[in-house]
Amino acid sequence: MDLSLSGSSPLPIYQQLFDQVCGQILDGRLKSGDALPPIRTVAKELSISVIPVKRAWEELEAAGFIESFVGRGCFIAPMSADKLQRLKRAMAADKLSDAAAYCKGMGLTLAEAEALLKDAWRSAEK
Amino acid sequence: MDLSLSGSSPLPIYQQLFDQVCGQILDGRLKSGDALPPIRTVAKELSISVIPVKRAWEELEAAGFIESFVGRGCFIAPMSADKLQRLKRAMAADKLSDAAAYCKGMGLTLAEAEALLKDAWRSAEK
Amino acid sequence: MDLSLSGSSPLPIYQQLFDQVCGQILDGRLKSGDALPPIRTVAKELSISVIPVKRAWEELEAAGFIESFVGRGCFIAPMSADKLQRLKRAMAADKLSDAAAYCKGMGLTLAEAEALLKDAWRSAEK
Amino acid sequence: MDLSLSGSSPLPIYQQLFDQVCGQILDGRLKSGDALPPIRTVAKELSISVIPVKRAWEELEAAGFIESFVGRGCFIAPMSADKLQRLKRAMAADKLSDAAAYCKGMGLTLAEAEALLKDAWRSAEK
DNA sequence: GTGGTCTAGACCACG
DNA sequence: GTGGTCTAGACCACT
């Protein structure tokens, strides 16, 4: 379980943790039933207090990504591959929809937006 | 000059105001030389204090979008059509770049992303 | 705004606060737009830390009962009288449904349950 | 002896076990003198540790529902049909009383509560 | 002044 | 050991 924090990020710690765990579930690195490390362990490894870790885990639970059990730990919630796939597409569509609305508002044409998307895709690393 | 605030938005008030004025400049509703309403007027219309309005105007001036003259008011800064155009494309490209990186992280292909962009474009109102 | 804590209650502080504010919204003592007292004030009045107060307010916001604005305070969220009414009935129906399922499991008849409900209603104070 | 655990329940494991055994005694599936399965057997079947099972059995004994004999096992305690009946009604009345108080607090009338109870009764399966 | 986030401890119930 | 709740401070951005 690799987690890291960016001191330069404007996002709060708990948000960064949420995003990373969420990402690892969506991209398959974490699967249903996998145990998350105890919050105290994560806190110690990242040299932060338990509070932001706990908060991240809480929001993950509220979002249905994980389940927590007192005395046992936290686990990735059961989720069908199909549901995962739909979630991923929905989130991606959401981001693109935002961008599309913005470009339209700026007076760009669909063709221009597609060209920009292609450029961005190519220059995106990883 | 129509400005509005969203109570549900996580963005601070001054940021919302900045974005709206900025957007109206970029999409042409506000042109070089146009006068901005006095901050007290805006504050009264939106039922907020002058402080966030003042801050929004300040940041607009710092970003070069407006110019303020004590005793006369604030005006949209002169900007060549060409510069405006470049600014617009740059901001749109930025948004698309973000979305592209996200979709790539989610494992989507460029073709899938383009399809989603087209869908979003069609379903976008306004 | 009267809030109180029961030291003997098994419920956590934040839960007690949530229930009380929620109740005051549902029974009309708090109306849309009303300001909630600042969390620090509540904490001081109840001689507790800000944490449980903040948590209660957070859950109220997540549940859609209130809205919070940095620097301005927290306010009862706009909600139509109709929606309020529906919410109240839904919550009451939920409680009764639980009780009904339990009584059924115990082998009681509907008539017996109704008789017990009437008794309870009469003996309920307030 | 069928016992099951709900991962989504907020109740601790020992409590869930307690409730189920208690319920089976009250609804007649378990009768005076019946033997309870050994805690190790239950623990293995439910894939949990013996600790919560042991605790559930202990609380059942403390509540007078079962008797345990070292080396022989645990058995449902003798209880007159009359006492059982009274217990059942008392517990049902308790639940209904809670619900009644809640409905009253919400401003519902007795007639409305009865109507909701009837609805719940009909829609309750099992 | 407000709420939002955080540190560095602590105690509790549960397993 | 685990997570859940809490105290008593602190700093930050926003109004």
**Domain edges within chain C:** 13-76, 81-125
B interface test, pick of A22, A84, A88, A106 with most B CB neighbours within 10 Å: A106
Residue D121: pLDDT over 70? yes
At CB < 8 A and 24+ separation, what contacts does A19-25 make? A21/A56, A21/A60, A21/A65, A21/A66, A22/A60, A22/A63, A22/A65, A23/B105, A25/A65, A25/A76, A25/A79, A25/A84
Residue in D with minimal Cα distance to A74: D7
- H or E element: which one contains D84? helix D81-105
CATH 1.10.10.10 matches A13-76: yes
Say if the Cβ atoms of D12 and A70 lie within 8 Å: yes
pLDDT of residue A34: 94
pLDDT digits (tens, 9 = 90+) for A53-70: 999 999 999 989 999 999
Split at pLDDT 50, 70, 90, the class of B1 is confident
Q: What pTM did the predictor assign?
A: 0.84
Min Cα separation C75/chain B (Å): 10
Residue D7's pLDDT is what? 78
> What residues does A76 pair with on adjacent strands?
A66
How far apart are the CA of A28 and the nearest CA of chain D, in angstroms? Answer: 23
Residue B126 above 60 pLDDT? no
pLDDT surpassing 60 at residue A126 = no
In this predicted model, what pLDDT tens digit does every residue of D7-19 receive, in sequence order? 778 889 999 999 8
- Contact call for D7 and A67, based on CB within 8 A: yes
What digits encode the pLDDT tens for the residues C105-117? 777 889 999 999 9
- Would you say the C-beta of D50 is within 7 Å of strand E? no
- For C109, the closest chain D residue by CA position comes to D121
- Contact (CB<8Å) C70/B7: no
Half-sphere exposure of A97 (CA within 13 A, CB side): 12
Across the range A91-110, mean pLDDT stands at: 86
What's the whole-number mean pLDDT along residues B82-104? 87
Any atom of strand E under 7 A from CB of D18? no
B15 nearest nucleotide via C1' and CA: F14
Least confident of A112-116, C66-70, D23-27: D23-27
Please provide residue B74's backbone torsions phi and psi, each rounded to the nearest 5 degrees.
-115, 145
What would the pLDDT profile of B31-59 be if each residue is shown by its tens digit?
Answer: 899 999 999 999 999 989 999 999 999 99
Tokens 């934040």, residue?
A: C14
Q: How many Cα atoms occupy the beta-carbon half-sphere of A60 within 13 Å?
A: 29
Q: CA dist B83 to A109, A111, B24, B79, B88, Å? A: 18, 21, 15, 7, 9
Q: From CA D78, how far away is CA A18, in angstroms rounded?
A: 54
The distance of C87 to chain D (nearest Cα, Å) reads 10
pLDDT value of residue C34 = 94
Higher pLDDT, A91 or C53: C53
CA distance to A32, B19, B21, B83, per residue, from B59 (Å): 47, 10, 11, 19
Share of chain D above pLDDT 70, in %: 98
pLDDT band for position A75 (50/70/90)? very high
Q: Which of C45, D125, D10 is nearest to A67 (CA)?
A: D10
Angstrom distance (rounded) from CA D89 to CA D95: 10
Q: What is the pLDDT of residue C56?
A: 96
What pLDDT does C57 receive?
96
